[in-house]
Structure 1
Amino acid sequence: MASMFNEMSSAGVYAAVVAILLLLSLALPAVYNLYFHPLRAVPGPRSWVIFPLLRHYAAIAGTLDEQSRRFHVKYGDVVRTHPNELSFTTTAAWKDIYGPVANLPKVMVYDEEARNVFNAEDNAVHGRMRRVLNPIFSERGARSLEPTVKHYADKLFAKLAVYAKEDRYVDMTMHWNLTTFDIIGKLAFGEDFDGLANGRIHPWVKNIFDTFKILPIIIAVSEYPLLMRLMKALMPRSVAESREAHVAQSHDKARRRMRNESLKDSGDFMDTMMRAQGTEDELSVGEIMANSNILIIAGSETSATALSGIVYWLLRSPGALARVTQEVRQAFERDDEITMASTAQKVPYLLACIQEGLRIYPPGAGSIQRYVPSNETRVVDGIVVPARTKLGVHHSAAYTSSRHFHRPLEYIPDRWLPAASEVNSPFHGDNRALVQPFSVGARNCIGQTFARNEMRYLLARLVFRFDLLSLAPECAAWHEQRSFVIWEKSPLMVRLRERQ
């Protein structure tokens, strides 16, 4: 009996010691992060500093960007959102984080795919890829692609005319996606996704959206190696099969395009990459495939998102809609006068509408993170940042901040017109340089020139041919969306009337 009692006492002591050690393992990092960490003076949600998983949970739930905006309102232009993570909303941070002198590496989640122009960590590799792709993404290169854009624009507007004739609401979210994916598919692989032809999103494209939802989970567990192994073991086979199917279809399309001699010298993305064969900038077959894949994602989803947001905000702003419609119809007498070149010169208010749309509804709501390398410290906007800290400028929080913009939650294209810089303008103090939806520096978005040309062209033709009448009642708060790197867009139901 005595020995049993002693064993029970020993077990109790052992359990107590384990409990105390467990509590200490949780408490000591929390105490350090709150009171001794080099970033302890930077304001932010203390609960996220104590329990970093809360930050990851918000990302997995799609509410991270919404909460980040609230934190910046509460704490200011610099917020600590994790023990080793800072979020900024200042122009100085753009230079200090993304500028050429800073040269901070990107935070990446790697897989087995070859490196592409987006995720190439080595600056020499990244530079080689940009040199190969720069010609097609220059102003001249972007406008050489106009016949392809026009072909799919014609198909889009023919479909919209049917909805207008029947006086039915049309889902502009879906139709912008169908259009931009078909355009980029044709330019990257020499074949579209049959989106506009079939009126539905291709399964290959849908898989891209599903991948973005999984990404926050991968980022979260990557900080905890044991969780990463557990996640791989427990991940449903269907997820892995979906990923494998995506890669296989992408590679199959790329191989077919590379073998298609009839498209040689076509001037599309693949042709541009293959022209480097035999030069010092030559891309491997794996790099060509990987870059084709990333161009499909980056070159279609972002444009479709921006176009959807601009149409939504124009319909929410009748004065701006009437003004841009009048401007376009006075600038052009016929639809065929509308080109990428002419829209760059003749419709300044349309350009302001696009820029204001990118401000109030940036395609990427959050930040493209960089990190301070090991054994280094950096100064960002006056703050000494220790090694291994993740940091970035948060797009939507910066662009909708009352510290930087007058009436920031309203869609007001006038803030981008020359008169806004005059001293007596209410928008004189707006920090317009803060709005950088395509990022800055050597690793900014390589496709931004094409994207701006494409958006100008499509929007000008839309308001030239159609009267945008109204939003469906259920779309009144369409902009209140979750974000998984990209916005989770719901249908944008719009009523159109073809111009007489």
Structure 2
Amino acid sequence: MAVFSVILSWTVVFLLSLVFISFLGYCLYVKHQHMKYDHIPGPPRDSFLLGHSPTFMRVMRNGGLVHDKLLEWSESYGPVYRVNILHYVMLNVTCPETTKEVLMSPKYPKDRFVYKRLFYLFGQRFLGNGLVTAQDHEQWHKQRRIMDPAFSSLYLRGLMGTFNERAEKLMTKLTDIADSKIEAHMLRLVNFVTLDVIAKVAFGVDLDQLKDSSVFPKAIETCLKGMVHYIRNSFFKYNPKNRPFIKEVRDACCLLRTTGAHWIQSRKTAMQNGEDVPKDILTQIIKTAGKEETMTEEDEELMLDNFVTFFIAGQETTANQLAFCIMELSRHPEILERVKNEVDDVIGMKQDISYDDLGKLVYLSQVLKETLRIYPTAPGTSREVLKDLVIDGIHIPGGVTCMFTSYVTGRMDKFFKDPLTFDPDRFHPDAPKPYFCYYPFALGPRSCLGQNFAQMEAKVVMAKLLQRFDFSLVPGQTFDIEDTGTLRPKSGVVCTVRHRNHKK
């Protein structure tokens, strides 16, 4: 018994020594990272190990916006500054030349810190290795090649009927709201419409959210909120209080992927049986994927990854842009009147908007672009810089992550005069183009594949809304922004809606 006690004591001592040595080694590695990058400007760290993460946690706990803190630091520390979290070093970059160099080139992969954490959410596969998250260039390029035909301008032209039909359902709902003289929760309503559109256009499914609300909006919101905590707080999953929420996130991920698997398999079966199938994005993806020389099980799983990606991104970001646009137009009656006049001139009283009409809605395009400058719904992206680089005269050792935040550059006076003023004329066709400081859909080869799809949809919905209704914000709302992975209006943009009295 005495021998056993001695062995146990020595085992405990050995394990404690091992833990201590490992911790000391890790601390030395953190110190090495500090010494390697501390010549780069940056705010003081909250702590040696946690770096700046306590600052981010405080901002999130207080209902603030992390991107506002990044903007504050950009103004204070210049075009490149350092952020530390544990042993990770990230650089926030606002230098246009570096933005051009890194985002426009395929040689800078998406960074592992953020995008690997989107593969799973708390152990449940989420975005996996889809178009947004794939780091390997060849793997990404194969997927992009499969997806491209489904987003060609010729194919998108053929979607105008669906855009019109689904937007018309929103107009019917708003007619009922105007007649009943009740408040319209615009963020909620446009969320339903964009989810209807992506389900119908991409996957041939009629959700009809405006009649029968489904579980999908809540599942998408839960996944995105889980994503924010999973990326920004490494210790979130270890707190027992968070377990119920973590289960909700896992269940939401599972629901989306199970739904996707069912829809994909149903379509494949229909195609194999020679049935008539919609000529939608899902059919195009399956047909094009079938032309690949090899389709492995992982390729099949990638199709599911991209289902989740498109289902979320194709709905959430466009809805948020529409809600922010409605919010800003309500605050600027002179801009609202001008864009209504353009819609009247181009569309008149006709119900179906054509593809050619969209090109004539020039000022509406400016309004939507200005909305994304102040409120980029997908606020930024990041890349790994593997080799040494010079940014604004500062030597940057390779092996670091660079963050590029359109929210930050869009709100900086050095790039946009009076940046918080909503001014669509910044994007007048004759105005100088912003030089690599405006990129709400990212830039270069990894820019958003669905950006033309999203802007066509947004134009159709906004044009119909402006054609038919007057709207104004219900007093007492805030104009705060909520960060749920994407940016959305915290107030929900609650409006009173009235039928327009056309003078013409």
TM-score, structure 2 normalization:
0.82
Q: CA deviation at 1:30?
A: 7.4
The equivalent residue for 1:137 is 151
- Aligned AA (1:124): E
Offset at residue 448 of structure 1 (A): 0.7
Q: Spell out the pairing of 1:202-351 with structure 2 (5 A cutoff).
A: 202-220=214-232, 230=238, 235-236=243-244, 237-261=247-271, 264=276, 266-280=278-292, 284-336=299-351, 338-344=353-359, 346-351=360-365
Contact in 2 for aligned 1:472/1:495 (Cα 8 Å): yes
Once superposed, what is the RMSD of the aligned Cα atoms?
Answer: 3.1
- The Cα shift of 1:414 comes to 1.1
Instruction: Quote the residue 2:482 is aligned against.
Output: 482
**Partner-residue secondary structure (3-state), 2:166:** helix
Matches within 5 A, 1:388-407: 388-407=399-418
Instruction: Name 2:385's counterpart in structure 1.
Output: 372
Q: Which residue of 1 aligns with 2:420?
A: 409
Q: Show the 5 A alignment for 1:37-56.
A: 37-47=36-46, 51-52=50-51, 53-55=53-55
In 2: Cα distance, 1:437 partner to 1:403 partner: 18
Partner of 1:456: 459
Deviations 1:153-208 (A, max 9, x none): 1111000111112222211100110000011012233213331122x3x3233122
- Residues 1:138 and 1:232: Cα distance change in structure 2 (over 3 Å): farther
Paired residue secondary structure (2:216): helix
Deviation at 1:449, TM superposition (A): 1.0
- What displacement does 1:88 show? 1.5
Contact 2:95-2:391 at 8 Å conserved across structures: no
How many pairs were matched up?
A: 461
Does the CA contact (< 8 Å) of 1:45 and 1:71 recur in 2? no
Q: Distance in 1 between matches of 2:50 and 2:111?
A: 24
Retained in 2: the 8 A contact 1:269–1:292?
no
Q: CA 1:254–1:322 in 2, change beyond 3 Å: closer, same or farther?
A: same
Offset at 1:93?
2.7
> Which amino acid counterpart does residue 496 of structure 1 have in structure 2?
V
- Picking from 441, 444, 451, the partner of 2:444 is 441
Structure 2 spans left out of the alignment, 5+ residues: 1-16
- Whole-Å separation in 2 of the counterparts to 1:69 and 1:295: 29
Written as runs of structure 1 = structure 2, the 5 A alignment for 1:84-103 is 84-100=89-105, 102-103=107-108
Is the contact made by 1:359 and 1:435 (CA closer than 8 Å) also made in structure 2? Answer: yes
Q: Which amino acid aligns with 1:269?
A: I
Asked if structure 2 preserves the Cα contact closer than 8 Å seen for 1:95 and 1:102, the reply is no
1:186 corresponds to 2:200: yes
Give TM-score, length-normalised by structure 1: 0.83
* Secondary structure of 1:197's aligned partner: coil
Alignment partners' CA distance in 2, 1:26 and 1:287: 35
- CA gap of 1:65–1:277, structure 2 versus 1, over 3 A, is closer
Structure 1 residue 377 displacement after superposition: 2.7
Secondary structure of the structure 1 residue equivalent to 2:444: coil
Distance 1:116 1:33, change over 3 A: closer
Contiguous gaps of at least 5 residues in structure 1: 1-16, 422-429
SS of 1:491 mapped into structure 2: coil
Matching residue's letter, 1:372: V
CA distances 1:443-488 after superposition (whole Å, capped 9, x unpaired): 11000111111111211111111122x101132x32x123132125
Q: Counterpart amino acid of 1:494?
A: C
Shift of 1:260: 3.6
Q: 1:229 to 1:162 in 2, by over 3 A?
A: closer
CA deviation digits over 1:353-396, x for unaligned, max 9?
Answer: 1110110111123x2121234xx333445443333312121111
Contact 2:108 2:383 (C-alpha < 8 Å) held by counterparts: no
Which one is further off, 252-261 or 229-238? 229-238
Cα displacement (A) at 1:397: 0.9
User: How many angstroms apart in 2 are the aligned matches of 1:48 and 1:303?
Assistant: 39
Shifted more, 230-239 versus 355-364: the winner is 230-239
48-57 or 347-356, larger mean C-alpha shift: 48-57
Alpha-carbon offset, residue 352 of structure 1: 0.8
